A = this chain, B = another copy of it.
C-alpha cells in the first residue's frame, strides 16, 4: 500500500478508514458494492441524458439525479480525506485524481454553464470502478497479463512499426492509383482507408474501384488478415511462460538433475531426493535418528 493510505490514529477515523479503504468487514464490502452501483448508475444517467428524446422528457430528473450522485461522491471524497493522515498527498495520487475528476465537471458547470465537453468528462467516473476491482482479487490476474505484456512489449512495438510501414506504402500507392472522387483525396485519407482495410474493419466508406487498386487491396487485406497471428503467437507464448514460471522452479534436483519441479515440491518426483538444500530432510533426519541408535548396538 502507499504511505498516503495510513489512517489517522483516532478511533472513528480508523473505523471510517476500514470501511471505505479496505474490504475486510461486511460493512466495507457493502460499501464497495454500493459504490459500484452508484458509479454505474451515474454513468447510466450521463448516457441517457445524451439521447435527445429522453433529455426532452426526463431532463429535469436527470439533472437532479446528477446532482445527487455528485453530492454523494463529494461526501465520499471528503470522508476519504478526513480519515487520512496526509490528505493532500492522496489528492495527488492516481486514485485521488480520478476521485476529483469524477465530481469536478458537475461543480464546474455552475461556473461555466453550457460547456458540453464537461458533461462527457463525467464519464471518466467509470475509472473509479478499478479501485473496487483492486480490493477484490483481480489484481493477481491483471499482473499475470501485465507481466506477459511487458515481456512482449518490444515485439508489439516492432509489430506496430511494421504495420506503420505497410500502411504508409499501401496508402501512397493507392493515392496514386485511385482518384480523389472515390475518396482517396489525400495521403492521410488513404492512410485512414488502409488502416480500415488492414484491421479488417472495412466500413466501405472508401473502396477501390480500379482493377489495379482492387488487386493491391487484396494483398493489403490478406496481410491484415494473417499478420494478426504474429502478436497473438507472441502473446500466447508469453502467457504460457508466465503461467509456467509461476508454478515450476527451474532449480535442478541435486540427486538426478531433473529440473522441472512444481515450486511447492519438497522431494524430487523422480528420485525422491530432498530439494530444499537450506533445511534438512525430515525423513533423513528420522533415518539419522535411527542410525544414532544403531551404532550403540553395532558397537556391541
A155 contacts B160, CB within 8 Å?
A: no
Q: Is A233 an interface residue (CB 8 A)?
A: yes
Q: Which of B52, B154, B203, B269 contacts A141 (CB 8 A)?
A: B154
Query: Secondary structure at chain A's binding surface: helix, strand, loop or mixed?
Result: helix
| Complexed CA–CA distance, A245 and B47 (Å) | 46
The stretch that binds B, out of A9-17, A82-90, A106-114, A260-268, is: A260-268
Q: Which of A123, A145, A222, A270 has the most CB of B within 10 A?
A: A270
For residue A125, which residue of chain B has the nearest CB?
B168
Distance in Å from the Cβ of A99 to the closest Cβ of chain B? 17
Q: Which of B120, B138, B192, B230 contacts A157 (CB 8 A)?
A: B138
B267 contacts A176, CB within 8 Å?
A: no
Distance in Å from the Cβ of A152 to the closest Cβ of chain B? 9
Evaluate whether A269 and B269 lie within 8 angstroms (CB atoms) in the complex, with A203-B204, A228-B229, A239-B237 already known.
Answer: yes
B234 contacts A231, CB within 8 Å?
A: no
Q: Is A243 an interface residue (CB 8 A)?
A: yes
| Complexed CA–CA distance, A172 and B186 (Å) | 27
Task: Give A214-234 interface residues, CB cut-off 8 Å to B.
Answer: 214-215, 217-218, 221-222, 224-226, 228-234
A270 contacts B256, CB within 8 Å?
A: yes
| Complexed CA–CA distance, A295 and B155 (Å) | 60
Oligomer copy total: 4
Task: Give A279-300 interface residues, CB cut-off 8 Å to B.
Answer: 281, 283, 287, 294-295, 297-300
The stretch that binds B, out of A22-30, A59-67, A71-79, A193-201, is: A193-201
Q: Is A135 an interface residue (CB 8 A)?
A: no
**Which residues of A does B touch, CB under 8 Å?**
43, 46-48, 50-52, 116-117, 120, 123-124, 126-127, 129, 133, 137-138, 141-142, 144-145, 148, 154-161, 163-165, 168-169, 172-173, 175-176, 185-189, 191-192, 195-205, 207, 211, 214-215, 217-218, 221-222, 224-226, 228-241, 243, 252, 256-262, 264-272, 274, 281, 283, 287, 294-295, 297-300
**Known pairs A195-B222, A295-B299 / 10 extra A-B pairs, C-beta < 8 Å:** A50-B175, A126-B164, A133-B158, A133-B161, A200-B202, A229-B235, A233-B237, A258-B258, A258-B270, A295-B295
8 inter-chain pairs at a CB distance below 8 angstroms, sorted by A residue, are A160-B226, A189-B214, A198-B225, A229-B232, A256-B256, A266-B270, A267-B269, A269-B269
